[in-house]
């Protein structure tokens, strides 16, 4: 009897620490170009093993290979985080020295924890649902948002930060991991979503209500406006705005924004130029009935902002961040609260959209049962 596919992926992923330990103890495998080559060979071998694992299946979703391959790299990231924080040793020394030195930074460690715990669990659940014939589209979009946000901060942050002058060949293995989530997201967005049919009467009743008579949506709109204002403000801060308020904030509240590693600066600019327009259209979606795209994009953005805020909050407090760039002890409560609300706003919006989607749906023929399913 074959084990469930998610168990096979889990067991295969557990080989990652063993591979790292072996390379860490063989000097011939520790040259920069050799590390890049070995990385390609290892990932290719993992892909072959995954193919052999599911070759008996009649039809395999191509996204399976993306999720399963990323599962393997999640354990690499978790191994790095655990070693840098002193829980284990003897696995990552060679890679930090000759591969990607920036992985010792606090921001990279928080990324590694997120990958090794949140993404890894998501992958196993997705793969289980995939081979059980259940929908995994929403979970896939959650991961896609998180992973794209990870890479669009990670790669530019390394290039423009203080590690930009010490980029090794192994760094370029991030390129396929940058492109794959975009491809996966395009596939997931193009697939029909599954949701309950809601009667036309109920949809019409919900869509007749103005924003003032929907207190939850009104509160979410105000929360989104606050998130937008905070994103604009911090964007100005990292762009060296000369206003006294910006100067006070960066020196007395979030000095981490001027950490030379580059990640916080890139993150604030991503919020300013990408998150801000998306939050704006979400407010439009809360005000305008029938915006069914809200059901997908709120999940995508919730994943992205949860990932970036986790990394930002954690890095600004982590001991690997120089003391002068950490959040001052007497300012931790307001700074953490503001950052937590920034992560919570899209998550609460996504939850609201999926628990009561009637306002965002197009009318369906009257008389259909709520218990039936349809593809929208």
pLDDT of residue 376: 46
pLDDT tens, 303-331? 999 999 999 999 999 999 999 999 999 99
pLDDT of residue 28: 93
Closest to 357 measured CA to CA, from 291, 297, 288: 291
What's this model's pTM, rounded to 2 decimal places?
0.92
Sorted by where each begins, the domain ranges of the chain are: 3-188, 198-358
* Positions in the chain short of pLDDT 70: 1-2, 363-376
Name 321's bridge partners. Answer: none
pLDDT tens, 188-203? 999 998 777 888 888 8
């Amino acid at each position: 009897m074959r084990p469930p596919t998610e168990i096979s992926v889990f067991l295969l992923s557990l080989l990652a620490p063993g591979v790292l330990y072996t390379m860490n103890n063989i000097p011939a495998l520790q040259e920069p170009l050799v590390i890049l080559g070995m990385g390609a060979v290892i990932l290719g071998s993992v892909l072959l093993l995954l193919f052999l694992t599911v070759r008996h299946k009649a039809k395999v979703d191509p996204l399976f290979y993306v999720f399963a391959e990323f599962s393997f790299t999640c354990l690499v990231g978790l191994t790095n985080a655990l070693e840098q924080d002193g829980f284990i040793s003897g696995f990552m020394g060679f890679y930090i020295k000759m591969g990607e030195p920036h992985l010792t930074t606090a921001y990279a460690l928080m990324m590694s924890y997120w990958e090794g715990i949140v993404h890894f669990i998501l992958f196993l659940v997705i793969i289980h649902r995939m081979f059980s014939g259940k929908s995994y589209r929403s979970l896939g979009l959650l991961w896609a948002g998180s992973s794209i946000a990870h890479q669009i901060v990670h790669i530019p942050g390394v290039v423009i930060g203080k590690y930009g002058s010490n980029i090794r060949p192994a760094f370029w293995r991030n390129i396929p991991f940058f492109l794959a989530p975009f491809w996966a997201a395009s596939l997931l967005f193009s697939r029909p979503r599954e949701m309950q049919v809601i009667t036309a009467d109920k949809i019409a009743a919900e869509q007749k209500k103005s924003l003032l008579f929907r207190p939850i949506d009104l509160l979410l709109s105000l929360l989104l406006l606050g998130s937008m204002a905070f994103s604009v403000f911090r964007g100005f801060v990292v762009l060296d705005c000369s206003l006294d308020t910006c100067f006070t904030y960066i020196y007395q509240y979030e000095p981490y924004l001027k950490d030379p590693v580059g990640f916080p600066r890139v993150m604030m600019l991503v919020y300013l130029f990408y998150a801000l327009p998306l939050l704006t259209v979400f407010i439009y979606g809360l005000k305008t009935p029938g915006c069914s795209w809200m059901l997908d994009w709120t999940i995508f953005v919730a994943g992205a902002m949860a990932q970036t805020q986790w990394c930002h909050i954690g890095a600004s407090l982590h001991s690997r961040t120089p003391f002068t760039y950490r959040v001052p002890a007497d300012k931790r409560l307001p700074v953490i609260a503001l950052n937590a609300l920034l992560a919570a706003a899209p998550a609460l919006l996504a939850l609201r959209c999926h628990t009561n989607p009637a306002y965002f749906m197009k009318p369906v023929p009257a008389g259909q049962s709520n218990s039936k399913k349809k593809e929208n």
